[in-house]
């Protein structure tokens, strides 16, 4: 039975033709054949074999083609008529159809898995957005209700609660702005403004911006240019500033007391690779594949205490990908992390 399932139309035609020729020879043997007729006997058998073979092959393929065509229209939403010659000349039409249907089934299976993953991601994303917005909204509601219930007349709390309300409003604004930035990056609406600039100088500027935070958390900021030359890169300076700022701020907030944040540069042919390394708490292996997702936090309680929207690394990933590059992370839990990405080399701007 297994052999019959694997039999091709050509093989079936061969069986039928051979059987027909055998029947012809058997009937011929029943009639007395003289020596002069032996050649005609052999030729007749060969002619019967060839004739039956070609007729059987034709009608079998025609039959299979007519049965397969509706299947293609159902599955692939296409008609085989335009490809009839291509399939007609195939030595094993059933094997070919089986292969194409299996490929189709595999692709559909992968599409279904991707859709399920996207649906799961969508649910998580909506849940995260509502949770992130719910906290400042409830805080604002609480402060305002307190003020309306008499706190407005109490000079010891009215200004304090208004300042806290403003802080919660600013948090909501930051979340919305970050979401808008990601949306524009994903849709391609945000056009990059390329220019050549000194990446080491840009790192120094970012360090100056975060110097007070670093001193507060007792983190030393270091820039290591082992190449001993000016490093010109060609990228969107404003967006790369955002990338470096996010990575440096994260390295400070999640660093250990008296730790270090080190930015190192490497020459890799036509690109400059930038690494931001910290000696902080590190990232567990199970979290490393998800840290660039929106709102994903490895330590939810500590992350919210540190501030931020939970969208920083997602924005970083989208900006780097908009430059046709990738960002990678190496980390060992408890020992620190290294984020690395590359940028195309640039040329020193000409003085005009």
User: For each of the chain's 352 residues, which pLDDT tens digit applies?
Assistant: 445 455 555 666 666 767 776 776 666 655 555 555 666 666 666 777 777 767 766 666 666 566 666 666 555 555 555 554 555 455 556 566 667 777 777 887 888 887 777 677 667 666 667 767 787 888 888 888 888 888 778 777 888 888 888 888 888 887 787 777 777 777 777 788 999 999 999 999 999 989 998 999 899 999 887 777 888 999 999 999 999 999 999 999 888 888 999 999 998 889 999 999 998 888 888 887 788 877 776 655 444 555 556 778 888 998 999 899 999 999 888 888 999 999 999 887 765 5
Domain regions of the chain by residue span: 2-91, 120-187, 194-344
Q: What pLDDT was estimated at residue 202?
A: 94
> What pLDDT was estimated at residue 102?
75
Burial (CB < 10 A; 0-12, 13-18, 19+), residue 203, is buried
CATH code for the domain defined by 120-187: 1.10.287.130
pLDDT reported for residue 4: 46
Do residues 69 and 87 touch, judged by C-beta distance below 8 A?
no
Extract the tokens encoding 234. 């060609």
Same fold, 120-187 and 194-344: no
Check residue 222 and give its pLDDT: 92
Please, what's the largest Cα pairwise distance for the chain? 132
Residue 301 has what pLDDT? 46
Measuring CA to CA, how many Å separate 32 from each of 28, 39, 105, 258? 8, 14, 60, 111
**CATH architecture entry for 194-344:** 2-Layer Sandwich (3.30)
What pLDDT, on the 0 to 100 scale, is given for residue 75? 56
- Res 37: pLDDT: 63
Q: According to the model, what pLDDT value does residue 274 have? A: 94
Q: What is the pLDDT of residue 88?
A: 47
Give the pLDDT score at 86.
Answer: 52
């Amino acid at each position: 039975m297994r052999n019959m399932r694997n039999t091709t139309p050509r093989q079936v035609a061969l069986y039928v033709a051979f059987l027909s020729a055998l029947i012809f020879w058997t009937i011929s043997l029943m009639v007395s054949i003289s020596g002069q007729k032996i050649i005609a006997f052999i030729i007749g058998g060969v002619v019967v074999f060839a004739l039956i073979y070609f007729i059987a092959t034709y009608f079998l393929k025609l039959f299979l083609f007519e049965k397969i065509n509706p299947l293609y229209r159902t599955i692939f939403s296409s008609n085989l008529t335009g490809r009839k010659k291509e399939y007609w000349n195939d030595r094993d039409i059933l094997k070919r159809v089986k292969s194409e249907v299996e490929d189709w089934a595999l692709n559909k299976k992968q599409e279904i898995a991707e859709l399920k993953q996207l649906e799961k991601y969508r649910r998580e994303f909506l849940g995260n957005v509502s949770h992130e917005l719910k906290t400042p909204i409830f805080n604002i509601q609480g402060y305002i209700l307190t003020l309306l219930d008499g706190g407005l007349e109490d000079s010891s709390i009215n200004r304090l609660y208004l300042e806290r309300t403003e802080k919660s409003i600013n948090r909501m604004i930051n979340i919305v702005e970050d979401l808008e930035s990601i949306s524009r990056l994903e849709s391609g609406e945000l056009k990059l403004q390329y220019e050549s600039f000194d990446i080491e100088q840009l790192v120094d500027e970012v360090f100056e911006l975060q110097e007070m935070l670093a001193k507060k958390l007792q983190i030393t900021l270091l820039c290591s240019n082992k190449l001993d030359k000016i490093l010109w890169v060609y990228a969107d300076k404003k967006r790369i500033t955002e990338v470096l700022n996010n990575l440096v701020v994260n390295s400070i907030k999640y660093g250990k007391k008296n730790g270090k944040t080190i930015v190192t540069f490497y020459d890799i042919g036509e690109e400059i690779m930038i690494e931001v390394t910290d000696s902080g708490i590190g990232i567990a292996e199970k979290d490393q594949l998800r840290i660039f997702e929106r709102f994903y936090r490895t330590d939810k309680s500590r992350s919210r205490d540190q501030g931020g929207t939970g969208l920083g690394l997602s924005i970083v990933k989208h900006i780097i990908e908009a430059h046709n590059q990738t960002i990678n992370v190496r980390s060992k839990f408890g020992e620190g992390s290294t984020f690395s990405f590359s940028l195309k080399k640039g040329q020193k701007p000409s003085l005009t």
